[in-house]
Amino acid sequence: MVEDRDVVIIGGGIAGMTAARELRDLDPLILESSERVGGRVWSKRRGDLALSVGAHMFPPPDSIIGRQVDEFGLEVLPITGSMLNIAMNDRIVAGARPEAFPLKLALSLRGRVAFARAGLKVRKAVAEHEAAVIRRPGDTEAMIRLRSMQAGGDISFGDYLGSLHPEAERIFQALCNRSSGDLDSITKASMATLFAHVWDSGDLGRNMRGGSGLLVDALGQDLAPHIRLQTAVTRIAVTASGVDVEYVGPDGAGTIHARTVVLAIPAPLIPALFGESLPADTASALARVTIGPTTVLSVLTDETEPMPWDDIYSLLTPDCRFNMFFNHSNAFHATGAPKQGSLLMIYGGGGRARALAGLTDAEKERAFLDDLHRLYPQTRGHIAETWLMPWQYAVPHATPGRWRVQETLDRGIADRVFLAGDWVGEFGAMETAAETGVDAAAAARRVLSADRA
């Protein structure tokens, strides 16, 4: 027997669950292939802290995610530690203004000059990005995303910066790896977006007490009647009257006839679901989407005394096999509570993740911990718990020309299937995923309203 639905949402991450909440009055159905909802938002609570291997920085209260946090009575704390820090050539420079890094880092004279010159180019790129995303009368979020991607969207960040001294190149390569890209692949536009967000700490300046996973747990409970876990979609076919969705779940195979579908899974997984029926323009657009890999290690330490990382939130590490160090316990120092260890996240994206591909998980963890101990020797003997996660599809980033297919992605497939996920936008973040979920839900509602007119 074929099940009949107004809306089927494939994928139970932030984008899919946000779309479901927008369409709750239509009794949407979420099909999630794994045993949990949340996608790349995943944490394990350890008191006020949480081991985390996914998204962890929360946008302001007036955002989609911010309103969800308030609705569920969850608590986010402001990050008080410095977010602009670099560890290089055995020196950690923390709390400096961006323009001071060329002087404070342990660089050669040529390295300092090259880094300073490149920094001026970055400032210019950020100014162009900020001008592009100023809201204009009649703007939709999709229109703003497109302009953001266009402002430097035809050139790689490496080509934009030009020939770099090796020391400056190491720094900027590590910065590109933060977005799971590399100098020769990620666009000037994508990096300008990243710098704009990092420099504006008010944009993503909060961590959740108990871990970001509490949000997806709350969303999952709120939407529980609409979710089927361990249900993998095997085929999607657009028909004259809607969309047939074939799946395999705990009780076997089945088919749902949906009037509309929201696809909230990674772009590389979509073509196989349609086979040869996927429209050529959509296939071409999806092929232009790049979601880079990232290997994440979350580390719980057991010290109770002050440590040199206490006042740092994020640290760029060009000399390590991971490129980023985060101190997720930083937000709790301002509360005055006794210290009960630290919660650290280290990860390597892009080329760094690919360099680890041939290692076992145990070898990846050992490599990261060895570099962590060199960076902060105080961590030796204080590792209480670890959690490694090698994400194949971690953070989306635009490659040159990616913006040219944006309108195709925003339009969806055959006026019945709509796309959602941070990869539909220009910046990998929970809020981007939520925005595209809202957009996809609105498109599905328009179709359903027209059908009933």
Region 327-335: mean pLDDT is 83
Residue 92 lies in a domain: no
Answer yes or no: do 303 and 335 share one domain.
yes
Cα dihedral: 68, 74, 75, 76 (round 10): -40
Residue 303 lies in a domain: yes
* One-letter identity of residue 397: H
- When pLDDT is cut at 50, 70 and 90, the band that residue 376 belongs to is very high
Residue 237 lies in a domain: yes
Answer yes or no: do 298 and 444 share one domain.
no
Altogether, the residues listed in the chain come to a count of 453
Answer yes or no: do 283 and 375 share one domain.
no
Residue 204 has pLDDT above 70, yes or no: no
Give tens-digit pLDDT for 151-171: 999 999 999 999 999 999 999
* φ, ψ at 306 (rounded to 5°): -60, 145
Answer yes or no: do 358 and 423 share one domain.
no
Count Cβ atoms within 10 A of the Cβ of residue 414 and give its class: 0-12 exposed, 13-18 middle, 19 or more buried: middle
Answer yes or no: do 336 and 196 share one domain.
no
- Integer CA distances (angstroms), 259 to 15, 21, 205, in order: 19, 18, 40
> What would the two tokens of residue 250 be?
């705990």
Count Cβ atoms within 10 A of the Cβ of residue 105 and give its class: 0-12 exposed, 13-18 middle, 19 or more buried: buried
Residue 444 is predicted with a pLDDT of 98
Answer yes or no: do 301 and 391 share one domain.
yes
Residue 324 has pLDDT above 90, yes or no: yes
List, in order, residues 6 or more apart from 60 with CB less than 8 Å away.
66, 202, 203
Residue 203 is predicted with a pLDDT of 55
Residue 313 has pLDDT above 90, yes or no: yes
Answer yes or no: do 265 and 411 share one domain.
yes
Give tens-digit pLDDT for 68-87: 999 999 999 988 888 889 99
Give tens-digit pLDDT for 209-247: 999 999 999 999 999 999 999 999 999 999 999 999 999
> What would the two tokens of residue 430 be?
């929970």
- When pLDDT is cut at 50, 70 and 90, the band that residue 200 belongs to is low
Domain termination residue (choose one: 360, 376, 396): 396
Residue 453 is predicted with a pLDDT of 79
Residue 260 lies in a domain: yes
Answer yes or no: do 390 and 404 share one domain.
no
Residue 406 lies in a domain: yes
Q: Residue 329 sits in a domain of what CATH number?
A: 3.90.660.10
Residue 138 lies in a domain: yes
Answer yes or no: do 389 and 300 share one domain.
yes
Q: Tell me the pLDDT of the chain averaged across its residues.
A: 94
The total number of structural domains that make up the chain: 3
* φ, ψ at 72 (rounded to 5°): -90, 0
DSSP letters, 250-266, are TTEEEEEEEEEEEE-S-
- When pLDDT is cut at 50, 70 and 90, the band that residue 99 belongs to is confident
Answer yes or no: do 410 and 379 share one domain.
no
Range of the domain at 390: 42-63+71-83+201-208+291-396
DSSP letters, 74-122, are --EEE--SBS-EEEETTEEEES--GGGHHHHS---HHHHHHHHHHHHHH
Domain termination residue (choose one: 353, 369, 396): 396
Count Cβ atoms within 10 A of the Cβ of residue 26 and give its class: 0-12 exposed, 13-18 middle, 19 or more buried: middle
Residue 346 lies in a domain: yes
Give tens-digit pLDDT for 113-139: 999 999 999 999 999 999 999 999 999
Element (H, E) at 446: helix 430-452
Residue 216 lies in a domain: no
The CA R_g of the chain, rounded to the nearest whole Å, is: 22
Q: Are strands 252-263 and 3-10 parallel, antiparallel or unpaired?
A: parallel
Residue 107 is predicted with a pLDDT of 96
Residue labelled with tokens 């796309």: 419
Answer yes or no: do 175 and 109 share one domain.
yes
Answer yes or no: do 433 and 404 share one domain.
yes
